[in-house]
Structure 1
């Protein structure tokens, strides 16, 4: 089996950004029950996820189109940084997994999830679940 001729890294990048934006928009309002205010701004080339408590930002994640891995990748920046700065806590490249017969995101985790530096493949749903779990772990440590 070969990679389908119609596979597009850019179409998969678009689908991943759209999916992640939708999932964060759906999940963040639930943080209010735990005493946090969550917001998400979904733009064409960047998703900005912010979690606040009493007006202070306790978690910030930017998900950007393109980055250090190339313009077809999805770049992740944790924390607040100057717009346009070349920071990265990890990046994912859309690839076609021949064994699964589907597109996946090959994540190069520099410090995004803390799961080591070896590239790992995630379906969009798995990547959102891992990001959401990481956010919840950080938020649990901010409540004292």
Structure 2
């Protein structure tokens, strides 16, 4: 197996840079080759850093180290990095991803298998954590083999049947808050990408409601209002009104309710969508993860914008 350029490739949200940067320096002091974004500032100057990072996380490191926090889970760039690494993990093995939890954030089961072991940053100083990484890399080098195949790891983990039931501390209201926050944050992070297309986008969040407006030359071409509760459907659901113009949003034409999916062994939202938009190839009846739900709503927006541009 050819030697890779990096022993470790770290991924993190900016809020955790102080801890991560010290850890990286401690790792380098132990002789580890570590990919750290700021080391590439000059080399990648003028290039697509996202494309370059995807290449690193998918093929150039022995281990991928995500420092997972609430900010990490809610930002598009760290999640893009994680997705690139997951493609390698599926082919190479569970051992490729060495997760470190930075806070008490709950990692969704659809993001990281619940049987994957992780370390908590609160239990280690950067120097201590660096020694843990050095030990892991040393074992891998000594064995001369890549991490275990993912199929065998999962097979052994699931050899004993476990009940597919909601966790005892799972709350539909907490999940509703998480889905609402995720949807608002992803739209806010994503809509600036439409400006080069001549579209001006604004998002506003006020309490239990957030809105998205897309304009072209001062005319509203897409409007979305999302609320917790409303429409007489109960306070355990998200409701939304979607249309072309803001003054047309008089009623609710969609709602979603958090549930525990026993087949996925994870939380999902059951979506009921009455708006007259082309539905994507998603099985809404089986429930959507938070990311799938956001992508579904984002595609509805893009469909509407494209229709008004014909």
Superposed pair shares fold, TM > 0.5? yes
Tell me the secondary structure at the aligned position of residue 140 of structure 1: helix
How many residue pairs align between the two structures? Answer: 141
Quote how far apart the aligned CAs of 1:99 are: 1.2
Structure 1 residues 112 and 23, CA, compared in 2 at 3 Å: closer, same or farther? farther
> What is the RMSD computed on CA atoms of the aligned residues?
2.1
Write 1 or 2 for the structure with the bigger share of helix.
2
Contact 2:278 2:303 in 1 (8 A): no
1:3 corresponds to: 166
The structure whose Rg is larger is 2
Q: Which has the higher contact order (CA 8 A, sep 6+)?
A: 1
Is 1:143 equivalent to 2:306 in the alignment? no
TM-score (norm 1): 0.88
| Distance in structure 2 (CA, Å) of the matches to 1:33 and 1:70 | 40
Quote how far apart the aligned CAs of 1:67 are: 2.5
Structure 1 residues 81 and 8, CA, compared in 2 at 3 Å: closer, same or farther? farther
- Structure 2 segments unaligned to the other structure (5+ residues): 1-162
2:292 corresponds to: 126
Q: Runs ≥4 in structure 1, deviation > 3 angstroms? A: 112-116
User: What is the correspondence of 1:1-144 to structure 2 with a 5 Å cutoff?
Assistant: 1=163, 2-68=165-231, 69-79=233-243, 80-81=246-247, 87-111=251-275, 113-115=277-279, 119-144=285-310
Write 1 or 2 for the structure with the bigger share of strand.
1
Contact 1:76 1:112 in 2 (8 A): no
- Structure 1 segments unaligned to the other structure (5+ residues): none
Quote how far apart the aligned CAs of 1:112 are: 6.4
Contact 1:90 1:112 in 2 (8 A): no
Structure 1 residues 17 and 32, CA, compared in 2 at 3 Å: closer, same or farther? same
| Distance in structure 1 (CA, Å) of the matches to 2:309 and 2:277 | 20
2:27 corresponds to: none
TM-score (norm 2): 0.43
Tell me the secondary structure at the aligned position of residue 122 of structure 1: coil
